[in-house]
Structure 1
Amino acid sequence: MKIMFLFAIVFYLLGCARPGYTPVAENMSCSKEYNSKLKRNIYQFVDQMPEPPGGLRELLRYATRNVDFINDDGTIQGSVKFEMIIDVDGAILEEKITGKEFEAYTSTDKKVLKNIRSMPKWKPGKCKNRKVPVRVGFPMSVCLSQ
């Protein structure tokens, strides 16, 4: 019985001793999904997330620059949720307003996206020390006071 147990342990260790093999952790980090439009994998969670130039506060400041949050019909839009893909070179791809079709975008939505498109390149995200494209999303709320 002891010999069978010892044999099982040795077999397991030899099987895991391959170069580059990391049990369990290999499958748990860096979740991704295939993007048929871009024809490649896009990651959602990575070891090192992309970073905007100047940090998150500067991103929100940049996104709201020249945006008045009053739509063409006179209504006030208090929040905008947007997402985009940060490519391996830091470029912004497929920016969009979350949960809306393009036809339903308000003037505020369009102004926010216009500002996002003009942003400088980001520091790209990394998975296992390799630059990868990452989908990121941000909610943005405006507090109106007198």
Structure 2
Amino acid sequence: MMTQKKATAILLLILFFSATYAQEKKEEYSAFMKNGIEYRTNGKDTIIVVDPKPEFKGGDAELMKYLSDNIRYPEEARKKKIAGKVFVRFTVAKNGKIMDCKIEKSVNPILDKEALRLIKSMPKWKPGGQHGKLIPVSYTIPINFMLE
């Protein structure tokens, strides 16, 4: 019964992940080190080189399951027919803890509050690393709130 309520309230929860590591061609970036962490820059954007990248325990499928099982579409937003995609940025610390959560792109304070609650409630992740050392890594997850 509870699952049907969630399915009714949330038609679709789409997650896209973007870690701050280079996916562009390496030759477009110049590398530099700061405090033992490798960065790359193209003069405009600076990224952290991460290998391995942080991972939710169980992988992306488990993360999607966790978020869909724990999201609560705010009643006030449902009544006011507020929907949209909230982008939440957070840091996966060296110990895997979720820290420094903030809204990167807002839809409405009601949905923003729920998106922050959801991300802050996540269990620890497997942390990211670089050159054999664990490092904090910034992540952005868009959470799509959709009504029927």
Q: TM-score range by the shorter chain?
A: 0.5 to 0.7
Distance 2:31 2:62 in 1: 34
Distance 2:119 2:87 in 1: 12
Distance 1:60 1:66 in 2: 11
* Structure 1 position 73, deviation (Å): 6.4
Q: What's 2:71 paired with?
A: 66
Q: What's 1:82 paired with?
A: 88
The structure with higher relative contact order (CA 8 Å, sep 6+) is 2
* Structure 1 position 106, deviation (Å): 1.9
* Structure 1 position 88, deviation (Å): 0.3
Q: Which secondary structure state, in structure 2, belongs to the residue aligned with residue 59 of structure 1?
A: helix
Distance 2:48 2:79 in 1: 36
Distance 2:124 2:118 in 1: 13
Distance 1:66 1:110 in 2: 11
**CA contact 2:39–2:48 (8 Å) conserved in 1:** yes
User: What is the CA deviation profile of residues 68-102 of structure 1, one whole-angstrom value per residue up to 9, with x for unaligned ones?
Assistant: 166276132121211100000001111111135xx
Please show how residues 102-117 of structure 1 align to structure 2 within 5 Å.
106-117=109-120
**CA contact 2:86–2:105 (8 Å) conserved in 1:** no
Q: What's 2:12 paired with?
A: none
Amino acid at match of 2:137: V
Give the ranges of 4+ consecutive aligned residues of structure 1 lying more than 6 Å apart after TM superposition. Answer: none
> Whose strand proportion is higher, 1 or 2?
2
- The gaps in structure 1 that reach 5 residues or longer are 1-23, 33-42
Q: Percent identity?
A: 30
1:31 is aligned, of 34, 39, 46, to: 39
**CA contact 2:83–2:147 (8 Å) conserved in 1:** no
